[in-house]
Structure 1
Amino acid sequence: MQFFESYLERLGPAISPPPEIILGAGGVETVARRFAALPAGTRVWIISDENTDAAFPLRSALSSFTSAATPVSDARIAACPALPGTPRVVPDDFLVEKITRDVVAAKVGLVVAIGGGTISDIAKRVSYLAGVPNWCIGTAPSVDAYTSAKSAIRVDGYHNGIPATPSSLVVCDVDVMAAAPQILFLSGVGDLTAKYFAYLEWYIASLVTGEPYSEREASFALDSARRAVAAFQSLPSGARADA
């Protein structure tokens, strides 16, 4: 018990799980119902790009829900147009700072990310800087960091893992995720298989620097990598070649 108490104190929010993860079909309707339950007058800032908006059409759905039998209370979507789909958005500190200024100026109470790793990283960092909660709506199985307390943001030309606010709600519509481009599936497999190295690095750090280490948690992470590799190897050879 003493080990876990010291470990939790050291990591803080880095391993705090989100209150809720929803995985299933009907994601748009699910999120719209959550909007209906927001406190009156909540201003919402959606961070997405043109591609993720097309994959998960929340903006248009909310406008229809407003006049339907399930109203979106009087929560208001701030004037936040989607980011460009092409060229791909670069999650750098300049973009994060600009969006943060806009979010603060608009007195936003909730940031909602619609997208994969890049959009999620931007939203979590903006949420951290603005001091407001965020939701994440995943549109691709491209990353394993939707619930991470760090964001990969480019600072001075280099990607850095910097503090971020973990999403308080994560929604993944399986139909939307399954329709994502194949390259994004491979990206997610890459994140999972990287845990082989993370497992080894953590173990070595525990020997060299005395880093608190938990075999149970390390094995849990390693098992996800093994499952990803096993799933890939179970595919027919032709499917693996296409990947």
Structure 2
Amino acid sequence: MLNSAHLSLIPFRFEQSNVRVVLAESIPWFVARDVALVLGYTDTKKAVATHCKKAKPLIDIEGANHPLYTNQALNLDHKTKLIPESDVYRLILRSKLPSAERFQDWVTEEVLPTIRQTGAYHSPTADPLPADLLRAYIRLTALNLYLTHLPLDALSKRQWIEHTLAELGITPQDLHPPPPPPPQAQPSERDLFTLSALLSLHQQRHSVQVVNRALVRLGWLQDIRRETPRGLKRVKQLVGEGLCYGRNQRNQPLYYAVQFPELLRRISGYLR
């Protein structure tokens, strides 16, 4: 990670593509072109101009007081367009690639949480084998190499290996780490869910009522009266900027799964 004044550049690797992130005062800004290329946009400039609402050139991120050499140290031109997390989600939503959902999961579940916790990024590594199991594995590997040079039939060699395993108190299955648990199904970037379902999915302590009050304070949610066979009924509807995060249904609004982390971040100061 390269440092320069209040900026740092973290080069990430998503599958076979480079994705650079500039940290400015601990806030991550993604290089817009990198994100657009990963998501399959052929005209990256047009994609950023059309879909990204908060894109800024690097010189505007770092401020006018920083000299141009800062940009050169970061290996970026001072006109390089950067986008915040919310614009990354907007590009994901409109991507036609099947890998867009994997990219979303990588950003939201791996990269951003790690940056926020440590101010840096470390690619996760597999857990090492326990020391006793590793020693047993080395012993058995050496035994197998030794047996390959002995004029014994396959049955004799197998019996010798099984005898060694019994002495070690392990079974052949113990030589391999357990398979990882199957991944839990994640919602598609275009799926809509109730507010209570998304709060539960993101393990939020706030109730539906608290979040609704925050949305009302922002002017993104309002109560309306709807005619029903049993008379007038009060229901809630998204309005204004709130419509960026969900869609109104007959009885209640539903929210886009991929936009929900951004929604939580934007209303955090109004939750009480």
Asked which structure has the greater CA Rg, the reply is 2
TM-score, with structure 2 as normaliser: 0.24
TM-score (structure 1 length as normaliser):
0.26
By relative contact order (CA 8 Å, sep 6+), the higher-ranking structure is: 1
